[in-house]
Structure 1
Amino acid sequence: MLGLDERTETVYRMMLTHHRWGIKELAHQLGMTEDELRAALDRLTDLRLLIESAPRGEVAPVSPEVGLQSLLRRRQEELQHRQEEVERCRIAITSVLDEYADLYANSQRRHAEQLIGIDAIQARIGDLAAQATFECVTFNPGGAQSAASLAASKPLDESVIGRGVMMRTVYLDSVRNDSLTAEYADWLTGLGGEVRTVPALPVRMLLIDRRVALVPVDPANTRKGAVQLTGAGVVAGLVALFEVVWRDATPMGACTERNEKGLTGQELELLRLLAEGSTDAGAATRLGLSLRTVRRMMADLMERLDARGRFAAGLQAGKRGWL
């Protein structure tokens, strides 16, 4: 997370206790070649964990209290920046969908086509997947997938990946607790696809070859139908949104980690949703969790914050830098 690989960390630790040793002594004690050691020293310098001391031009390690805290602050700033990027993309997508919703009725826009009914949507997904030549990426909010839905997806997925098309899928973190979805993810990964998860997703979405997008008419109610978008600007925006989310998503086979405040991604997203005025039910929908689970998570957070009510919890979360 901080940019320190095992070798670089080992060199840093050794220099803290033997800062007067030279290149040869360090390389010998660490079992490295001098080139490997110099590469690690360059990395430590880039991370500002080594400084050059005048006038002899030697390098010395920065104390962990200063150096590592500085690294952590930079990492926090980067994560905050990425979260802001995702939020800006989410707002932009909502605006685009609202704009196109007003244009369908005129039937004057060739870049947008509305699909009504699940049969029409599924048929279009099949057609688009059959036309894919190099990439198929999806956002799948809503939590655990049904056995019927997963079984229906397999033949299409197998056909697409079998043609050499790259397939990347993002689910909610909540699917990690569902054995059927986890088994499907393992199966898809075995074929050559990639699966990652995040605490929350902005919208359900399918992107084919970075030229066609399929999104719901109403992100809050996918039963209202879907829209196929082919406008270059709109599709480019959706591709950018996907890449931002994908970059911060956790591979399905890896464990989700707690941040420096001890919060999981789901807990942090729950606090954000509630701070925005979302109800427990609304937060449960966004996170793909049951209402009971969300309430249990909130009770646990309030206990950790030593807060008796949600307002007090919000104040404490702000004071502690959780939000």
Structure 2
Amino acid sequence: MFEALGLSRLAESVYLTMLEFPEAGVEDLGRVLRLDDGQVREALNDLARMSLLRTPPSGAPASGTQPPRPVSPEVGLSMLLARRHAEVARHQQEIEESRAAFETLLAKHAESRPKNPGPEVRRVEGIEAIRARLRELADSCVWEACSFTPDGAQSAASLEASRALDAEAIARGVRLRTVYLDSVRNDQPTLEYAQWLTELGSEVRTTPTLPVRMLIVDRRLAMVPVDNDDSASLALEISSPGVLSGLVALFNSVWKNAVSLGSARRRDDEGLSAQERQVLQLLGEGHTDEMIARRLGVSVRTARRIASNLLSRLDAQSRFQAGARAVARGFSPADSCPPVGRQFDLMGSQYEQ
């Protein structure tokens, strides 16, 4: 129940039992929960580390047969929840800052070296050339391919064309790591394709939004868009070690906080999903339904429905008021960065015929 707050199942069981039986000792707790003394003491140490016990000043939390008393849930769990909110807000801010820095870096490359970017940044112009280069990269990949796919539902033609290339890569022992938007869980063809990938040994996760479209091959080459408003015409193939290190770090940060395809999407203590939290942030930033739909990879109708439900839950009269109330209640970070352009619309159709 409280795993999202960093509390293990063992520690949670001991804590709840202590709340129910305040005078219970170590042996009593072990008898009620059918645990040995070592397990009870381990749980008590975890609870003390998370400040959920009033630790006696004379010794360790698990010493003796009489454990310290539990901190009330109003104080202890509220503190853990506030800490978790701060961590989520900090992570979101890091992602937004990385995206802004990444967009700025790409813009500088495009402006300063438009004709001859040099050996570390190569321009690939035209959709046919981009698709051909993506096929070459897929064939040449040796051990790992990491990608962000921010389109939501994928077209049938794109999925079918990608199937053989992905299967061949996995058969060669390539580790495929793909991050889709949460919205693909509601599109049966894309969901079935992602499940097929996992059955072959690939790794698939989802997240509410993605900072950019990206493919990284063997951590030696990356392909990214240049112009988000004309994504099919120009992409950059990057081999610069410094830029690649930043892109790999960005991927790993998003990957760490994304949810595995086989896992249920968690809701927080306010009943909000990660996708709904993202919509609240976008509302506060003044995004339209069309812009929100693009970021989430859903239809405008779905984006409008989510926003309307959130306005009703927050008893807000306007979209901006909903975003402001979300910040006031700790649902959304107050210092998030504004968006930088719309998402690149290319690699979801990278193998279309």
Alignment TM-score > 0.5, same fold: yes
For residue 7 of structure 2, what is the amino acid of its counterpart?
L
| Residue matched to 2:341 | none
Which is further off, 158-167 or 218-227? 218-227
Q: Structure 2: which 5+ residue stretches go unaligned?
A: 61-66, 333-353
- Residue of structure 1 equivalent to 2:183: 174
AA matched with 1:254? S
Q: Which amino acid aligns with 1:82?
A: H
1:23 to 2:26 alignment: yes
Q: How does 1:212-291 map to 2 (within 5 A)?
A: 212-291=221-300
Select 1:147's aligned residue among 156, 167, 181. 156
- Find the aligned partners of 1:258 and 1:18 in 2 and give their Cα distance: 29
The Cα of 1:56 is off from its aligned counterpart by 7.2
Partner of 2:40: 37
Query: In structure 2, do the counterparts of structure 1 residues 30 and 311 end up closer, same or farther at CA, with 3 Å as the change threshold?
Result: closer
Is 1:300 aligned to residue 303 of structure 2? no
CA distance in 2, matches of 1:322, 1:11: 29
The Cα of 1:106 is off from its aligned counterpart by: 4.1
C-alpha distance in structure 2 between counterparts of 1:11 and 1:68, whole Å: 14
Moved more, 245-254 or 256-265: 256-265
The question of whether the paired residues in 2 share the 8 Å contact of 1:116 and 1:225 is answered with yes
**Partner letter of residue 5 of structure 1?**
S
Alpha-carbon distance in structure 2 between the residues aligned to 1:180 and 1:190:
15
Runs of 4 or more above 6 Å deviation: none
Query: Distance in 1 between the 2:268 and 2:19 partners?
Result: 26
- CA RMSD after TM alignment: 1.9
Partner of 1:14: 17
SS across alignment from 2:55: strand
Superposition TM-score, scaled by structure 1 size: 0.93
Deviations, residues 18-60 of structure 1 (Å, cap 9, x unaligned): 3433333322332122222222122112211123224576522
Q: Percent identity?
A: 46
User: In the aligned structure 2, how far is the partner of 1:271 from the partner of 1:237?
Assistant: 28
Of 130, 133, 137, the match for 2:142: 133
State TM-score, norm by structure 2: 0.86
Tell me which of 71, 78, 81 is aligned to 1:62: 71
Aligned AA (1:64): P
In 2, distance between residues paired with 1:201 and 1:195? 14
Deviations 1:265-318 (A, max 9, x none): 222222222322322212211111111111222222222222333344344334
Cα distance change on mapping 1:256 and 1:205 into 2, 3 Å:
same
**Kindly tell me: are residues 41 and 307 of structure 1, through their superposed partners in 2, closer, same or farther at Cα, counting changes over 3 Å?**
closer
Query: Which residue of 82, 86, 104 maps to 1:77?
Result: 86
Aligned to 2:55: 52
Identify the range of structure 1 (93-102 vs 130-139) with the bigger mean alpha-carbon deviation.
130-139
User: Of Structure 1 and Structure 2, which has the larger fraction of its residues in helix?
Assistant: 1
Asked if 1:209 corresponds to 2:218, the answer is: yes
Match of 1:321 in 2: 330
Q: What is residue 345 of structure 2 aligned with on the other side? A: none
Q: Which residue of 2 aligns with 1:192?
A: 201
Q: Secondary structure at the match of 2:68?
A: strand
Contact residue 207 and residue 213 of structure 1 kept, 8 A? yes
Whether the 8 Å CA contact 1:204–1:219 is kept in 2: the answer is: no
Q: Which runs of 5+ in 1 are unaligned?
A: none
**CA-to-partner distance for each residue in 1:129-170, whole Å, 9 max, x for gaps?**
222222111000111001110111111111111122211111
